[in-house]
Amino acid sequence: MRNLSLTLALAALLAAGFTSIGVAQDLVLYFNFEEGSGDTAMDGSGNGNHGTLMNGVARTSGPMGGAVQFDGADDFIDAGNSDMFQIANNVTLEAWVNSEDAGPTQFACGTPFDDGAEWDDPWVGQQIGVRGGAMATWVSIAGVDREYDSGSIESGVWTHIAFTFDGDTAISYVNGVEVANNGDRDGETTYGGSPSFVVGVRSKEAMGEFFKGAIDEVALWNGVRTPEQIQADMGGIEPGGAVEPESKLATTWGNLKRDR
Ligand SMILES: [Ca+2]
Ligand SMILES: [Ca+2]
């Protein structure tokens, strides 16, 4: 009986592990806004990349518990300018968004190109948001700004948006479904200065194109999430899931053996 349960446990582990074994994926920043009050968004990644709620960001509820509400005028969250945010490629950006008006250009989250006040060229790093009733993806690759408007976003409806870039292909997802796939984008995203990861604004220096509405579950990964993983992330991210699947498998297997 013990052997049977052990076998079943291992089978489940293998089934879970083999779907995602590959390049390590590290959770760099994760805001789930479950702290519920105060001016700090706690980073659940373990990296200490906590955010500061600026200019009156309010608390609300979202698809996964607590969320934050932006006034579209000057509200944003500043997560600081850690070098960890300057990801060249192998990146995943995710968020739940609910825009009051999905027409205007609104940045949801990401790392801008630079920390200057000018609209330099390139001017984006890796950022996602809403524009013209679609998901907007902005990514600078090898010094060229790329902008993709894909899928459908309705005003006042919670929608999950995600973006991955592996150094060749830029993919956008709406509600876990691929809506844009742009290959042959060989190159890296470069950054100027020390840009801060921001939520709800294009950049904290340029200010503007603020998000108007609510946002939840902001995540930045150093690594490319698979479609299956993005769909799972929509239900909330377990920071422990950032462990490299192979080592997690080995560790858990070791624990199973030790517990016998
Ligand atoms: Ca405000
Ligand atoms: Ca939440």
Which of the residue ranges 18-22, 106-110, 224-228 would you say has the lowest mean pLDDT?
18-22
* 101, part of any domain: yes
Q: Is the pLDDT of residue 15 over 60?
A: no
> Cα of 55 to ligand 1 centre, how many Å?
4
> Domain count of the chain?
1
- Is residue 109 situated within a structural domain? yes
Counting ligands in written order, the one closest to the CA of 95 is: 2
Distance 71 CA to ligand 1 centre (A): 6
Q: Is residue 94 part of a domain?
A: yes
Give distance in angstroms: CA of 43 to centre of ligand 2: 12
User: What pLDDT does residue 115 have?
Assistant: 82
Query: How far does residue 97's CA lie from ligand 2's centre (Å)?
Result: 11
pLDDT tens figures, 177-196: 999 999 988 999 999 989 99
Does residue 13 form part of some domain? no
Is 29 among the domain residues?
yes
The domain spanning residue 102 has which CATH number? 2.60.120.200
Q: Find the domain containing 81 and state its range.
A: 22-247
Per the domain annotation, does 238 fall within a domain?
A: yes
46 inside domain: yes
Q: Phi/psi at 79 (nearest 5 deg)?
A: -100, 10
Task: Calculate how far, in angstroms, residue 178's C-alpha sits from the geometric centre of ligand 2.
Answer: 23
Ligand nearest to the CA of 31: 2
Ligand number nearest to the C-alpha of 68: 2
